[in-house]
Structure 1
Amino acid sequence: MASETKQISMAASAIALRGVRLFLSASRAAAARRPAPPPVAKPPRKKPVLPANKLPQKTLEQLLKTSKFNKNELEALYTMYRKLVAAAQAAAPAPVIGQPPLKIEGIDQNTFRDVMHNTFDLVTEETIVDRVWTTWERGAAGGEGALKFDSWVKGLSVLLRGTEDERRNHCFAVYDLNADGYITRDEMFLLLKNSLLKQPGDEDPDEGVRDLVELVLRKLDVDKDGKVSPEDYKAAVEQEPLLLEAFGQCLPSRRHATAFLKTLSTKQ
C-alpha cells in the first residue's frame, strides 16, 4: 500500500509540475507540393546535369544508416531544407554597399525557431527553444552557426522517432544550461521562473519558484547530492514518465510529430 501511495504521489506531483507551464496553441504548417515542370516536346541534347534539389547519393546513403528516415522521407526533408535555407537568405539583412551579399549556408536560428513553433508546436519558453537549437550538432563544417542538412536530419530523427534513451538524453541536454553534465538548483530556478505565470500582487514571486525547485529536486535527485545527474534523471523518468519534460516542453506532441511525418510520405 505504501508503494502504491508513493507512485500515486509521484504521478500527482509530475502532473502538477506540467500544469505550471504555459502551453499555447500553434497551427501546423501544411506541406506544399512542388509543381511539375512543363512538358517539353524536344529537349535540347546536352550533358545531363544533377538537379539542384537532388539529394547527393553519398549523403543519402550515410543518413539511411545514421537516421530513422527512409529514402523518400530523406528526399522530402532535403527539399524542405533547401526551401528553409532559401527563405533565410531572402530574409537576411541587405549587405553594406560594396560588400558581397550575406550567404547563409544552412538553417539559421530564426528559421529554426519558426519551425519549432509553427510546425512542431513547441510553444514553450524561448529559453527552451534556444537550448534546443544549441544542443543540435553543427560542428566545424556547420557554417556560421547554421544547421547543415545532416545535423537537421539527425536532430529531427531524435525528436520524431527517437528511442526512450535518445529522447531523455535530448531533454537532459536542453535543461543542462551550462553543459556540465548536471541540472543544478540554479538551472532549475531559471527554467521554472521563465515558465511560470506571474500573478499580480505577488510580493516575492521568486519564493514560489524556489519552493517548486525544492519539490522537483526531491523527485529527481535520486542520490541526494543536491543536483540531478543523467543517472538520477533516468531513474526518476523511468519511475514517472511525466517528469521527462518537468522544466519545459522540448519535444513535439505525438499528434504534431505524426502529422509532420505524414507530410513527408505525401511529398512527390
Structure 2
Amino acid sequence: MYSVVSHLYSRPQRQKKPSHKSRRQDLSCPSRLIGYIRNRFNKDKGGSGEDDVDDLNLHVVRYRPEELDKLAKTTKFTRKEIQLIYRGFKQECPTGLVDEDSFKDIFAQFFPQGDATQYAHYVFNTLKHNSSGQISFEEFLGILSKVSRGTIQEKLQWIFGLYDLNKDGLITKTEMLDVVTSIYEMLGHHTEPQVEENSAREHVEKIFHQIDLNHDGVVTIDELVEWCCRDERILQSLEMLDTVL
C-alpha cells in the first residue's frame, strides 16, 4: 500500500520538461489538491476578508454555517485560515453545500489527464455523514483539518475509511483493488512513473498480505496502523500535509 499512500501523501516527484506532445503530470494527489485549494482560496487574498467574517457570523449565505469562533475551536485552523477557506468554498459552492456531482467536477479540474469520477465518489463518501447527499462547509472543514493537521492516527483513520467501502470496519482485497484502480484511472497515462494496465492488481496482490498480519483475508485499522508505523517513509509522507495554507 506504500505507493497508494504515497500517491495520497507523498512529495511530488521532479517534473520533466514538457514535450511537444504533452506535459507529463507527476504531482501526487494531495499536492495537486492542495495547490488547487491554495490557488482558489487565496485568489482574493488581497482583500480585507471582513465580508467573509460577516458571512460566517451573520449567516447571510443560504446555508448557515457555525460561527467563526466555534469553527476555530473545533478545528486546527486559525480564524484567518478559516476565513480564506470559506472564501474559496463560497466560490465553488455558493449555496454553502456541495453535492457529489459538483465534487466530481472539482476533482476533474485538477486531474484533467485521467478520469477522477470513481475516486471522487469514494472520497465524497468519506466526507458526507448524512443521507442528504450533500457536504456542508463545517463537514468539509472538519475533514480537511484532520487530513492536513491531524495526528497520524487521524490521518490513517481517514485512509482506512476511504478503502473500507462498505463501512464494516474491514478492508477486503476487492475493496483495496477498487480504490487503487480508481487512483490509477485518475492519474491517467501521463504520470511518472507511467501506470501499466495490470499495475493496480499486481500492486494489491503484492502488499495486501503484508498488511493482513494474521492472514485472515481482511485488513483492520489496527493492522493498517501497525504496518504504516513500521515504515518511516509512510510516516514522513503523512507529515507532509501539516501546513495547507
TM-score, normalised by the number of residues in structure 2: 0.64
Q: Could you tell me how far 1:181 is from its partner in structure 2?
A: 0.9
How far apart, CA to CA, are the structure 1 residues paired with 2:209 and 2:75? 36
Among candidates 45, 68, 82, match of residue 90 of structure 2: 82
How far apart, CA to CA, are the structure 1 residues paired with 2:167 and 2:126? 9
Q: 1:128 to 1:16 in 2, by over 3 A?
A: closer
Q: 1:242 to 1:220 in 2, by over 3 A?
A: farther
Among candidates 119, 126, 132, match of residue 128 of structure 1: 119
Contact 2:53 2:83 (8 Å CA) reproduced: no
Contact 1:60 1:74 (8 Å CA) reproduced: yes
How far apart, CA to CA, are the structure 2 residues paired with 1:154 and 1:110? 21
Q: What residue number does 1:62 align with? A: 70
Q: Could you tell me how far 1:108 is from its partner in structure 2?
A: 2.5
Q: 1:151 to 1:177 in 2, by over 3 A?
A: same
Amino acid at match of 2:169: G
Q: Could you tell me how far 1:216 is from its partner in structure 2?
A: 1.2
Matched, 1:157 2:158: no
How far apart, CA to CA, are the structure 2 residues paired with 1:60 and 1:189? 40
Secondary structure, in 3 states, of the residue corresponding to 1:147? strand
Secondary structure, in 3 states, of the residue corresponding to 1:107? strand
Report sequence identity in percent: 23
The gaps in structure 2 that reach 5 residues or longer are: 8-23, 59-65, 186-194
* Higher radius of gyration, 1 or 2: 1
Q: What residue number does 1:112 align with? A: 103
Q: 1:79 to 1:198 in 2, by over 3 A?
A: same
Among candidates 210, 213, 226, match of residue 219 of structure 1: 210
Contact 2:126 2:162 (8 Å CA) reproduced: yes
Q: How big is the alpha-carbon RMSD for the aligned residues of Structure 1 and Structure 2?
A: 4.0
Q: Could you tell me how far 1:187 is from its partner in structure 2?
A: 1.2
Q: 1:52 to 1:69 in 2, by over 3 A?
A: closer
Q: What residue number does 1:177 align with? A: 165
Q: Could you tell me how far 1:163 is from its partner in structure 2?
A: 1.3
- Structure 1 or 2: more strand by fraction: 2
For residues 70-112 of structure 1, give each alpha carbon's deviation from its aligned partner in whole angstroms, at most 9, with x where no partner exists: 11112222222222222xxxxxxxxxxxxxxxxx551232433
TM-score, normalised by the number of residues in structure 1: 0.59
Q: Could you tell me how far 1:36 is from its partner in structure 2?
A: 6.2
Higher relative contact order (CA 8 A, sep 6+): 1
Matched, 1:33 2:33: no
Q: What is the aligned length?
A: 199
